[in-house]
Amino acid sequence: MAVVKTVLSPTRRCQSLNTIGHAIPYFFAKICGYRSASSASVSSSMYKFVQEHGRTFHKYKEGKYFLPNDEREQNRLDLQHTISKFLLKGKLGLAPVENPGYVLDLGTGTGIWAIEFAEGNPKSEVLGTDLSPIQPDYLPPNCRFEIDDVDDDWAYSHKFDYIHGRYLLPFVNKNWGLLFKSVYDNLNPGGWVEFQETIIYFQSVDGSIEGTALQRWNALLLQGIQKMGRSATEALRCKNYLAEAGFVRLGEKKFAVPMNAWAKGGDQKAIGAMQMANNLEGIDGITMTVFTRALGWKPADVEQLVVDVKRDLKDRNIHAYITVIVAWGQKPC
């Protein structure tokens, strides 16, 4: 059965761009030189979203990103940001970056990381890029956004001092070696790169995940993502890719994040509770996309599996966790 897709009309963001007196337009970047060869120009078509299975997805490079871009997903992305800062003890990153002039945030999502970095570093010029124009309209004066695809050729008008990416690598089509080369080539000498990724692979400390719907779902999800030409676990080699690209002063930190509040200790229970909310909210979109597109499942069968998986995600007797990895490196001076 074919999937019926509907292109939605332009969002309020597009309408606000035409409002007289709008302070900081979304594409203010294009008149300041922050533009790559593939960056999309301002047009109402770029703000039309595709509707599938009751969720909306990006129109530009349609189908590339597995997850929706609607308000429900945007709230989840902001929750992920909160989880990230919790893990990093309030920091936006772990690379020892000092006073970067030009900053690039790849796959910026709602733009929350770029906005907070711009607010905390008023002398930096921060550019966030994404396939979806879902970022706020009103921004710090040193922050701007563009619709762009990290897989396209990079042709920015200047190089950067800090390039940041988060929850991005599993959705990259480009050979990862080429991606890290693009990052390297677009950094100034002495500039830093940092990636933070969640490895979508659930493990348990005591075998309690064995035989669960969660384990079955996870295996099928990884299989489907692979069929779509991506990898959900390759980010574990991020540090190796950095080294192969020529970066030095490499760093890496891994976090075991409990899937719910089963772990002992206040901090572990807090992060587990947040991660459970994140998982429960995110599983619908990614499962429906991957299972119907790659594995040929019917939507009704996906929905039934998701019910069982959500039950497992809330079960504190399943002592499962996922890995979050942060890796960084510096371009030689």
Please write the tens of the pLDDT for every residue from 298-326.
999 999 999 999 999 999 999 999 999 99
Contacts of residue 6, defined as CB under 8 A and 6 or more positions apart, other chains included, come to 50, 51
Q: 267: exposed, middle or buried (C-beta count within 10 Å: 0-12, 13-18, 19+)?
A: exposed
Q: What is the model's pLDDT at position 36?
A: 36
Q: What is the model's pLDDT at position 298?
A: 97
269, 261 Cβ separation under 8 angstroms: yes
- Residues 143, 127: Cα–Cα separation, whole Å: 6
- Residues 45, 59: Cα–Cα separation, whole Å: 8
- Residues 290, 3: Cα–Cα separation, whole Å: 13
**Residue 106: both structure tokens together:** 């790849």
Q: What superfamily in CATH does domain 6-330 come from?
A: Vaccinia Virus protein VP39 (3.40.50.150)
Q: Checking DSSP bridges between strand 187-204 and strand 125-130, what pairing results, if any?
A: unpaired
324, 199 Cβ separation under 8 angstroms: yes
Domains in the chain: boundaries: 6-330
Helix axes 176-185, 238-245, angle to 10 degrees: 50
Q: What is the model's pLDDT at position 4?
A: 31
pTM: 0.85
- Residues 147, 143: Cα–Cα separation, whole Å: 14
Please give the mean pLDDT across all residues of the chain: 86
Provide the residue type at 172 as one letter. V
- Sorting pLDDT into bands at 50, 70 and 90, what band is 63? low
- Residues 87, 253: Cα–Cα separation, whole Å: 11
- % pLDDT > 90, the chain: 69
Q: How many whole angstroms from its chain centre is CA 127?
A: 15
Phi, psi torsion values for 94, nearest 5 degrees: -110, -15
- Sheet with 6-7: list strands edge to edge: 6-7, 50-52, 55-57
Q: What is the model's pLDDT at position 252?
A: 98
Residue 5 has pLDDT above 80, yes or no: no
Tell me the range of 57-71, 222-236, 244-258 where mean pLDDT is highest.
244-258
More confidently predicted of 237 and 1: 237
Q: Which residues of 216-232 are buried (b: 16+ CB within 10 A; e: fewer)?
A: ebbebbbebbeebebbb
Work out the end-to-end distance of the chain between its first and last CA atoms, rounded to an integer number of angstroms: 56
